[in-house]
Amino acid sequence: MGHGRYIDPFLERRPDYVIGQGEQLSLEFVILPGEDRSIDLGIDLAGEGASLDVKIVYLSGYSEKVDIKLLVHHRAGGCSSQQRIFGIASGSAQVGFYGKVVTAPDAQKTEASQLNRNILLSDAAQVRTLPQLEIYADDVKCSHGATIGRLNEDELFYMRSRGIPEAEARALQMLSFLSPVVPEGQQERIEAAVRSILPA
Amino acid sequence: MDKLLEIKNLHAGIGDKEILRGIDLCIGPGEVHALMGPNGAGKSTLGAALCGRPDVAVSEGSVLFRGKDLLAMAPEERSHEGLFLSFQYPVEIPGVSITAFMKAAVNARRKALGQPELNTGEFLKLLKQKMAFVKMSPEFSKRDVNVGFSGGEKKRNEIFQMAMLEPSLAILDETDSGLDVDALKIVADGVNSLRSPERSVIIITHYQKLLEYVKPDVVHVLKAGRIVKSGSEEILRAIEKDGFDQF
């Protein structure tokens, strides 16, 4: 599955995080409405059995620019990485996601997943997403995916038919969409942010 | 007010296709009406038009509900007025629990009616009571709405929601289809317990099983977007014997 020859992605740049044998790293980012943000991280799973969990939630509803670049390198065997980047773009926000997972030839028994899910609430908002996998080991479980969608209209009508006002129904949908990546203790902040970017 | 619902010359369709071609129907308080008819007659479209489903466009006619212009209301306002549709195909809402869903619904309705919202304790008490009433296991309250439910569980969840919202007009769209006898009895008990001199029910069905448990006051036959026959239970016997072609 690799294109051509394996090249260590951290020859040209240094990783921001190196995860050693048996260590765990968990990273959480919350990007709120009105915030321009650029995240560019390189993470090296360098020791056997290292594990990584990345959760990023963004909510952009004005004219923000959000850029997220994640480079994850499985250098050693038996490591696991999970990346979830979920967000909602409204207004004329511009969001870009560029993610790359590289599995070195010796990184057998790697488990890596990368999921970027986006909801567009307005026609002027833009999301670009480019998830990539480079696999040079043969005994690995890797998955990646990206979705860009809108809120489900059947769900919306079902909720409204039960008396839930449209704005409240949309807020419920958005919160349920984001819930897998909302960090502990941040529920209320996210709820307020969701309500602030609801289209009138 | 002698009429709860008054439909006059209702025309409605989906896209370019006209499905309802002049429906006239009056329902008084406390009445149960059965709406029968072959597939494609427009039964479900009528229920959808009454509840304001966005893809159903009304082109002509009027609907008064408790004396108010129903067609001018948003779907949520129709619910607050006391209209309830039990969906033929209940919608799954991943990530939203039945508790969160119903709490939002019950409190939105109370707010619209100028009543104080229920606090969590009061709400959970009501939820437990209504779940027990429709014989739904309490563990369902934590599950996402309709996600992974069997066909019967989805229908039972519709009746549970109806019991929570206590509508003055409930429209049951094929709520009986695909149910075994036990589930059918639970649906029937739910409907019968809601019956009162003020509350009315429209039962949309093309079977007759549910009508053995919930006796209709009036039976209508809908064909090609019009009501072609209205009458008493005798119509049911005629349908059973000779089908819909006779009308």
pLDDT digits (tens, 9 = 90+) for B103-157: 999 999 999 999 999 999 999 999 999 999 888 999 999 999 999 999 889 999 9
Give chain B's contact residues with A (Cβ, < 8 Å).
51-54, 74-76, 78-80, 84-85, 87, 90-96, 100-102, 104-106, 108-109, 112, 161, 165
Token digits of residue B135: 């014989």
What is the tens place of the pLDDT at every residue in B45-101? 999 999 999 999 999 999 999 999 999 999 999 999 999 999 999 999 999 999 999
CB contact (8 A) between residue A160 and residue B161: no
Assess whether pLDDT exceeds 80 at residue B217.
yes
pLDDT at B6: 98
- Which of A160, A164, A177 is the closest to B95 by Cβ? A177
pLDDT at B1: 54
The C-alpha atoms of residue B41 and residue B204 are separated, in whole angstroms, by 11
Q: Is residue A158 part of a domain?
A: no
Residue A110 in any domain: the answer is: yes
| Torsions phi, psi for B99 (to 5 deg) | -60, -50
Q: Which residues of B touch A161 (CB under 8 A)?
A: 51-53, 75-76, 78-79, 84-85, 87
The residue-averaged pLDDT of B177-204 equals: 89
Identity of the residue in A161, A166, A172 whose CB atom sits nearest the CB atom of B51: A161
- Residue in A152, A156, A160, A191 to test binding to B, most B beta-carbons within 10 Å: A160
C-alpha distances in Å from residue A21, one per residue of A15, A46, A130, B145, B242: 16, 7, 30, 42, 77
pLDDT at residue number B160: 96
- Residue in A with minimal Cα distance to B77: A163
Whether residue B166 has pLDDT greater than 50: yes
A176 within a domain of the structure (yes/no) = no
pLDDT of residue B182: 85
- Number of A to B CB contacts under 8 A, please give it: 72
Å between B169 CA and nearest CA of chain A: 13
The stretch A40-45 carries a mean pLDDT of 98
Reading the block at residue B116, the tokens are 């104080």
Whether residues B79 and A165 touch (CB distance < 8 A) is answered with no
Which residue of chain A comes nearest to B103, CA vs CA? Answer: A164
What pLDDT is attached to residue B12?
Answer: 98
Interface contact flag, A166 B76, Cβ < 8 Å: yes
Please judge whether B76 and A163 are an interchain contact, meaning their C-beta atoms are less than 8 angstroms apart.
yes
pLDDT, position B207: 78
State which residues form the domain around A45.
17-150
- In 10 A of CB B46, how many CB atoms? 27
Question: What is the tens place of the pLDDT at every residue in B197-215?
Answer: 989 999 998 778 889 999 9
Tell me the pLDDT band of B187, cut-offs 50, 70 and 90.
confident
Chain A residues in contact with B76 by the CB 8 A cut-off are 160-161, 163-166
Q: What angle do CA A56, A60, A64 make, to 5 degrees?
A: 110
Asked whether residue A3 carries a pLDDT value surpassing 60, the answer given is: no
pLDDT at B209: 85
- Strand B68-69 to B56-65 pairing: antiparallel
For residue B187, give the DSSP letter: H
By C-alpha distance, the chain B residue nearest A168 is B104
Of B90, B95, B112, the CB nearest to A176: B95
Question: What is the C-alpha separation between A185 and A182, in angstroms, rounded?
Answer: 8
The shares of helix, strand and coil residues in chain A, as percent rounded to the nearest 5, are: 20, 45, 40
Task: Work out the mean pLDDT of chain B and round it to a whole number.
Answer: 94
CA gap A149, A155 in Å, rounded: 14
Say if A199 falls within a structural domain: no
pLDDT at A198 over 90: no
Residues 6+ apart with CB under 8 A from B187: B155, B156, B159, B172, B175, B176, B179, B210
pLDDT band, residue B193 (cuts 50/70/90): confident
- On whether residue A175 sits in a domain, the answer given is no
pLDDT of residue A113: 97
Pick from A113, A88, A70: nearest CA to A177 = A88
Question: How does pLDDT run across A87-99, given as a tens digit for each residue?
Answer: 999 999 999 999 9
Q: Do B101 and A159 touch (CB under 8 A)?
A: yes
Helix (H), strand (E), coil (C) string for B45-66? HHHHHHHCCCCEEEEEEEEEEC
pLDDT of residue B125: 97
Residue B2: predicted pLDDT: 78
First to last CA, chain B: 33
Spatial CB neighbours of B52, under 8 Å, sequence gap ≥ 6: A160, A161, B71, B73, B74, B75, B78
| Closest Cα in chain B, distance from residue A48 (Å) | 35
Q: Of the candidates A155, A160, A179, which has its C-beta nearest B93's C-beta?
A: A155
Mean per-residue pLDDT for A151-168? 96
Is the pLDDT at B39 greater than 50? The verdict is yes
Cβ atoms of residues B8 and B73 within 8 Å:
no
Q: Which residues pair with B56 in a beta bridge?
A: B14
Q: Which residue has the tokens 């997403």?
A: A129
Q: Which sign, positive or negative, has the C-alpha torsion B100, B106, B109, B113?
A: negative
A40 touches B: beta carbon within 8 Å? no
Residues of chain A in contact with residue B105, where contact means CB-CB under 8 angstroms, are 159, 162-164
Nearest residue to B78 via CA among A109, A174, A123, A160: A160
| pLDDT of A2 above 50 | no
In a domain, A30, yes or no: yes
**Cα gap A178→A184, rounded to integer Å:** 13
> Please, what is the end-to-end C-alpha distance for chain A in angstroms?
46
For an interface test with A, give the residue of B96, B103, B146, B169 to mutate (most A CBs within 10 A). B96
Structural domains of chain A, count: 1
pLDDT interval class at B172 (50, 70, 90): very high
**Residue A171: inside a domain, yes or no?**
no
B178 has a pLDDT exceeding 90? no
For residue A159, the chain B residues in CB contact (below 8 A) are 93, 101, 104-105
Contact between residue B226 and residue B23 where contact means Cβ atoms under 8 Å apart: yes
Under 8 Å between Cβ of B170 and B230:
no
Q: Is the ipTM of this complex over 0.90?
A: yes
Q: Is residue A185 part of a domain?
A: no
Structural tokens at position B36: 């029968």
